[in-house]
Structure 1
Amino acid sequence: MTRRDALVGVIEALHAEIAALKANDVVGLERATQTKLVAIDAVAALDHTPPTSDLRALAEEAHRLNETCRIYVNLMSANVRRRLQQLAGDGRAAYRPGGHAFA
């Protein structure tokens, strides 16, 4: 396996994570995350020569997809927090102006 192959594996796993997040598929998310972690370990264990422009582009794509996953998780977390506040009868906003969370 090459670093390129391993990075492609990371990207494929990130696409699977995004699909699982969109579908609320916990089993699929767990599987995709495990696959991603194995692929990341493979990238780290492989050749440490300076990356080519192709490898840099793949790494940037993986980073972009990881940020997309992070955004989905943050949105889901905010939705859960808002719903829990509604269920608890707390009508306040989740955050005060200035970005500080309520205690």
Structure 2
Amino acid sequence: MEEIFEHFGMALQEAIPANKTYKFAMIELERQPNMAGYRAYLENDGIEYLMPDKFRINSDSIHALYNLTVGHGNKSEWNKAFFKLYPNKKFEIEFQYDDQL
């Protein structure tokens, strides 16, 4: 799982413009059995989306994260996750189930 978090963190760091100040960078992940998607943005005093040509992650990593977190006896299904990266390189992740998806 650590490799997946490193992948997310490095992709965000590479997409953030040099000398850009921000409170945190966020990847919003969505996962369904046959598809995975995401969007990324910076939060400062408003949202600034990171453009797809600057930010990319492998959608297979979203499915891999799901398999790692839901497997191994953990019964918490999720279809949305929020990966938050702070300027000091610390991160947090939150998993949710949205029955509207």
Question: TM-score, normalization: structure 1?
Answer: 0.30
Give the number of the structure whose alpha-carbon radius of gyration is greater.
1
Which has the larger share of strand?
2
Which has the larger share of helix?
1
Question: TM-score, normalization: structure 2?
Answer: 0.31
